[in-house]
Amino acid sequence: MNDNKTILKVENLKKYFPQKSGFFKQKIEYLKAVDDISFELKENETLGLVGESGCGKSTTGRTILRVHEPTDGKVFFRGENIADIEESELQKIRKDMQMIFQDPFASLNPRMTVKNIISEGMRIHGVGNKKSRMERVEELMSIVGLRPEYMFRYPHEFSGGQRQRIGVARALALDPKLIICDEPVSALDVSIQAQVLNLLMDLQDEFDLTFIFIAHDLSVVEHISDRVAVMYLGKIVELTTSDKLYSKPLHPYTKGLLHSVPEPNPKVPMGEVSLKGDIPSPVNPPSGCSFRTRCPKAHERCKKEEPEFREYEDNHYAACHLLD
């Protein structure tokens, strides 16, 4: 873990979406997509955010950037609580916080050339003139491994991996300090995934970037992350360094995720913890421990009492009654 100063601090962040139900759609319930999570991120660090689909990972990233307005909680970016500031003030900070999206085709405007896609943020924030923006686009395309002369082409003329490189170039255009990578390789072939991951790690070293790397596959975040936070039903259930998480996971859910990763040797046993059943509805989560309905070792206390998220070992946090 880095000794650098904290760039992002999330305190008790919540994002609830209202849902109407009942015969006349009069009853309002709340989908608890992000339910009271806290963590810190150091400069030049990569925090992996992992969990199954629907656990709240992407909503966490979007709420930090205020694409979704937080229901409650604080988000400190470089010491300033950006969860409460006005939109005009937020606009000034936004260029320091960028996002790379999951689907490299859906996130690129098919009617815009690559030059206009990459330079759009610079134009919106009034960075440079037309000539300097053109030069910056050429530079960025070279940095991400694309030929600058391709800047006049449209997204459909590129492969999936090339489109994601365009998305990376767009995110870099404003010299951000924090980039939230929302499953940036899950839509790509396995052979291309490694290329994009290596590119991101090289860019982090070159430009002193800080990443939140969102993924549903633990094997993807293993080598790129300094620390990993495991999410389940809107909550962080385990948080520690990458080395500790993969060598000595504490939470049964983390163990289940790790054992669900295919082994290269089919003779190696999958392990004693496996994930069964579906994730409960975030509108009506289980009482007590949210994971208890799928945990093979759940007991009576797990039904009645929500486990406290606390430090069990040095820099190793978890929320599980079985560890007490």
Which is more confident, 270 or 227? 227
**What is the tens place of the pLDDT at every residue in 27-50?**
788 999 999 999 999 999 999 999
Q: Residues near 314 by Cβ (< 8 Å), separated by ≥ 6? A: none
Average pLDDT over residues 139-160: 95
Q: Is the full-model pTM beyond 0.85?
A: yes
DSSP 280: P
**What is the tens place of the pLDDT at every residue in 71-106?**
999 999 999 999 989 988 898 898 999 999 988 778
At CA 145, angle to CA 140 and CA 151, rounded to 5?
A: 55
Which is more confident, 26 or 59? 59
Q: Residues near 91 by Cβ (< 8 Å), separated by ≥ 6? A: none
CB 212 within 8 A of CB 180: yes
Q: Residues near 303 by Cβ (< 8 Å), separated by ≥ 6? A: 286, 287, 288, 289, 292
Domain 1-96+215-263+270-316 -> CATH class: alpha beta
At 273, which helix (H) or strand (E)?
none
Neighbour tally for 123: CB within 10 Å = 13
Share the mean pLDDT of the chain.
Answer: 90
Q: What pLDDT does 261 receive?
A: 67
All structural domains of the chain with their residue ranges: 1-96+215-263+270-316
Q: What pLDDT does 12 receive?
A: 97
**pLDDT level of residue 1 (50, 70, 90 thresholds):** very low
Q: Which long-range contacts (CB under 8 A, 24 or more apart) does 80-83 make?
A: 83/13
CA distances from 130 to 80, 96, 120, 138 (A): 32, 21, 11, 13
Residue among 156, 80, 81 nearest 114 (CA) = 156
**pLDDT level of residue 265 (50, 70, 90 thresholds):** very low
> Comparing 157-161, 166-170, 263-267, 317-321, which segment has the lowest mean pLDDT?
263-267
